[in-house]
Amino acid sequence: MRFSRILAFALFLSGRLFAGEGLDYMQNLISNFESLRAELAEDYSNEKRKDVVRRAKDLALQILDVKEIGRLALGKHYTKLTKAQQDDFLNLFHELMANRVVEANIPSQKVLTGKIPIEIVSERTETDDVFGKEALVVNTKVPHRKQNFQVEFYLYRSADGLKLYDVHVDEASTLLDFRNQFSSIIRKKGYKHLVKLLRERIKKINK
């Protein structure tokens, strides 16, 4: 299970972190995605699917700080790009993340019924030394087949409120996984090859 297949949720809040803020944040967005799924369960026409996917993408982009995630995912390579290359990469990453969140939350018609299978457990604050963030971490359990995964959503306070920047699945950071994958591709075949792979992946998802 990767970052793109995990549910990501957000609620605009300002000021300091409050006890229970992350729990409210998560529950609010689960409810929003469940409302979209319920609409599709009642009407799965092509026109309705397009409308719901559009609104789900808008919701996803309220949740994710895509520019920050993209910058962190490229790591040291980001600063070596020209401004035009940075903008191009962030636009590609933006589209990829939006599509993947929709893919995870708006599934096929046969599995639209019922609640989103995620149990919100607890929250905590911690210093994320790897990415230099003061994180609000929401701990959840996500069932998959016959086992439960511990999934932790890492949020930080941006100028626009709480934003998601990383997800840990059974203690493994998906953002760090992104960084390692991107770095390996760039080291072996160059930055242009990474961009090519991202474009191909987006094209495949859009089909």
Domains in the chain: boundaries: 18-206
> CB within 8 A of 204, min separation 6: which ones?
none
CA atoms of 152 and 137, how far apart (whole Å): 6
List pLDDT tens digits, range 9-50. 332 222 333 457 888 888 888 888 888 888 888 888 889 888
Angstrom CA distances, 48 to 36, 41, 51, 54, 107, stand at 10, 10, 5, 10, 14
Q: Tokens in use for 16? A: 């300091």
Instruction: Tell me the pLDDT band of 108, cut-offs 50, 70 and 90.
Output: low
Q: What is the mean pLDDT of residues 57-71?
A: 87
Residue with structure tokens 């309705």? 48
Q: Tokens in use for 106? A: 């708006």
List pLDDT tens digits, range 168-183. 998 899 999 999 999 9
Q: Tokens in use for 24? A: 């409210």
Instruction: Tell me the pLDDT band of 143, cut-offs 50, 70 and 90.
Output: confident
Instruction: Tell me the pLDDT band of 122, cut-offs 50, 70 and 90.
Output: very high
The predicted structure's pLDDT at residue 54: 86
Angstrom CA distances, 64 to 116, 167, 190, stand at 19, 11, 27
Q: What is the mean pLDDT of residues 56-60?
A: 84
Q: Give yes or no for a contact between 164 and 63, defined as CB atoms under 8 angstroms apart.
A: yes
In terms of CATH architecture, what is 18-206?
Roll (3.10)
The predicted structure's pLDDT at residue 110: 59
CA atoms of 135 and 112, how far apart (whole Å): 32
Mean pLDDT, rounded, of the chain: 83
pTM over 0.85: no
CA atoms of 166 and 151, how far apart (whole Å): 11
Q: How far apart are the first and last CA of the chain?
A: 22
